Amino acid sequence: MLLDMMAPWAALARRLAFASRLALALAGGAVLTGATLVPSAEATTLRFAFQGELKAVDPYALMESFSLSVGTAVYEGLIRRGPDLEIEPCLATSWETLDPLHWRFHLRKGVKFHNGEDFTADDVVFSAQRLHTQGSDLKNMVASDTKVVKVDDHTVDFILTHPDPLLMAQWEDWGIFSQKWSEEHGATEATAMNATTPPYAALHANGTGPFILVSHEPGVKTVWKKNPNWWDTPKHNLDEVVFTPIPSNATRVAALLSGEIDWMDPVPLPDQARVNANPGTQVMAGPELRTIFLGFDQMRPELGHSNVKGKNPFKDVRVRKAFYQAIDEEAIKTKVMRGLATPAALLIAPSLYSESKDFKRIPFDPEASKKLLGEAGYPEGFEVQLDCPNDRYVNDEAICQAVVGMLARVGIKIDLVAEPKSKFFARILGVGGYDTSFYLLGWTPATYESYNVFQYNIQCRDEKGNGGHNNIGGYCNPKVDQLANEALQEPDQEKRDDIFKKAWQIALFDDVGYVPLHQQALAWGVSKKVHVIQRPDNAYIFAWVNMD
């Protein structure tokens, strides 16, 4: 019996998803009343639900967008980002570069941690050290060879070994810890995995942010209350925020429709019409920053999963272009994504790169595709395996199925392997020896600009993964790497974008290193009495929420 229980979990999860759709269809005829179950309490409480659980209240423990963005309610960084992702002063009021290797930050005065301690330069120095302790997943926030030096109580210098105009790009998520509090409670190290005692910071928090952590029951419920002594003028009118993970799609939708929650993410595609039809709720959709794309193994002399032996067809740019032109992204957008996707020409969202509009996708043209395959020596096509996650991105498996059908029309026979993310990533990433020939992946540049994509996905790598370690297919063009590095040294935004333009042109159009597909759409379900601001990076910022 136990054995029976173990095996079919992935299948079960999919069955649940299917059942929820079935039930929605069945219940479709029912007349909905916007009935509210819970009478509003005196205090203004925001009830928020997400499909996953909050894995860590110690933001250093996991580099995952959900826990990082929720974490900013408690822990603030030196900077923060506004509704359009623009960098704003936060715990630092201003900064200057004395020279390209020497940055100076002036800290905000009069800021207090939730326990009443004053925020000073010591806390910044301490937090920078904490980033590099065992168990921290945020080590790349500050390079390990960067010196962080206290100048006075409210001035900190960062001394780099090489210029980095993007130094602050991810610092919204680098929450500053109190040195004294961390030392008092043995929380000076990020939650280390081999700890024998439960780490204090995994259940308790002490930041400077707009909300104070009241309680955290892992995987069940997390409660925050308003910080009455916050240094900034609150833009929200909340007294309390309650977060509950609701993994079942149908239940999450039902909870929103019945008024038991005010805000949830995501609304599954098939349920969006219902949420909009309900008088009290609506879907807030917008383009997300993540780009979904296909990649090819261009590194091995022979593909690991194909019937072509002795050579690697993906080393030939004509084959890669043939694959590109055989895929009808418009059809994927309308049929698979129900219109909720933005076809992409680059591996970066248009809102993050000023010259995106100058690029158009290579046109869909099955005839040209067949011709290219013929020229490359595969007039009859060939067989190759496509690796795809089935629980990571919106409709990931369905996208791959569509791709299989489209490539079949030009003679390419695809063997589709769709797996849960835990297995998929274990196999195709460096730890699994990049074991794939053709794969689907999504990428959001954590720094919100092009360099991050080049650094991780386009830069050459060796077999061990040194270099662009998420460049799974091993695309490599030294000229592109040179341009990307040149851009990194260029402090002027406009000039930098011009350099990236050349690099994008080579990597995606001349070399067809990847097939960009689309940016999926965000879909939040919100009650109409709640006013939230949706940022394209899918951040959940409680400090911007107002309730009627």
Partner 1 sequence: MIAFIIRRLFASIGVLIAVGLIAFLLFRYVGDPVNQMVGIETPESERVALRQQLGLNDPTIVQAFRFLAHAARLDFGISYQFKQPVSELIGARMPATLELAFVASIMSLVTGIPMGVYTALRRKSALAKLFEALSLVGISLPTFLIGILLIYLFSVTLGWLPSFGRGDVVHIGSWWTTGLLTASGLKSIIMPAITLALFQMTLIMRLVRAEMLEVLRADYIRFARARGLSERKVHFRHALKNTLVPVITVVGLQLGSIVAFSIITETVFSWPGMGQLFLQSVQNVDIPIMAAYLLFIAFLFVIINLVVDLLYAAVDPRLRVAIHGA
Contacts of 471 (CB under 8 A, 6+ apart): 456, 457, 458, 459, 460, 461
Q: What are the φ and ψ backbone dihedral angles of 305, each rounded to 5 degrees?
A: -130, 70
Of 198, 202, 204, nearest to 224 (Cα)?
Answer: 204
Q: Min. distance of Cβ 472 from partner 1 in angstroms?
A: 11
Contacts of 228 (CB under 8 A, 6+ apart): none
Q: For residue 333, what is the DSSP state?
A: I
The interface with partner 1 within residues 244-263 (CB under 8 A) comprises: 244-248, 250-252, 254-255, 257-260
- Is position 43 an interface residue for partner 1 (rule: CB under 8 A)? no
Count of residues in contact with partner 1, rule CB under 8 A:
83
Of 190, 522, 202, nearest to 337 (Cα)?
Answer: 522
- Is position 41 an interface residue for partner 1 (rule: CB under 8 A)? no
The interface with partner 1 within residues 8-27 (CB under 8 A) comprises: 9, 12-13, 15-16, 19-20, 22-24, 26-27
Which listed residue (122, 355, 391, 435) binds partner 1 by CB under 8 A?
391
Q: In this complex, which beta carbon is closest to partner 1, that of residue 231 or of residue 425?
A: 425
- Is position 64 an interface residue for partner 1 (rule: CB under 8 A)? yes
DSSP H stretches of helix in 336-382: 366-375
Q: In this complex, which beta carbon is closest to partner 1, that of residue 219 or of residue 405?
A: 219
Scanning 52-60, 110-118, 314-322, 536-544 for contacts with partner 1 by CB under 8 A, the matching segment is 52-60
The dihedral sign for the CA sequence 344, 347, 351, 356: negative
Scanning 329-337, 345-353, 429-437, 485-493 for contacts with partner 1 by CB under 8 A, the matching segment is 429-437
The interface with partner 1 within residues 168-207 (CB under 8 A) comprises: 191, 193-196, 198-199, 202-203
- Is position 470 an interface residue for partner 1 (rule: CB under 8 A)? yes
Q: In this complex, which beta carbon is closest to partner 1, that of residue 72 or of residue 191?
A: 191
- Is position 280 an interface residue for partner 1 (rule: CB under 8 A)? no
Q: Is 373 exposed, middle or buried (0-12, 13-18, 19+ CB in 10 A)?
A: buried
- Is position 431 an interface residue for partner 1 (rule: CB under 8 A)? yes
The interface with partner 1 within residues 406-425 (CB under 8 A) comprises: 420-425
Instruction: Supply angle C-alpha 346, 351, 353, rounded to 5.
Output: 55
Contacts of 289 (CB under 8 A, 6+ apart): 349, 351, 352, 444, 445, 448, 519, 536, 537, 538
- Is position 270 an interface residue for partner 1 (rule: CB under 8 A)? no
Q: Min. distance of Cβ 367 from partner 1 in angstroms?
A: 37
Q: In this complex, which beta carbon is closest to partner 1, that of residue 151 or of residue 195?
A: 195
- Alpha carbon 314 to chain centroid, angstroms: 28
Q: Min. distance of Cβ 77 from partner 1 in angstroms?
A: 17
The interface with partner 1 within residues 225-244 (CB under 8 A) comprises: 244
Looking at residue 159, its amino acid is I
- Is position 426 an interface residue for partner 1 (rule: CB under 8 A)? yes
Looking at residue 336, its amino acid is V
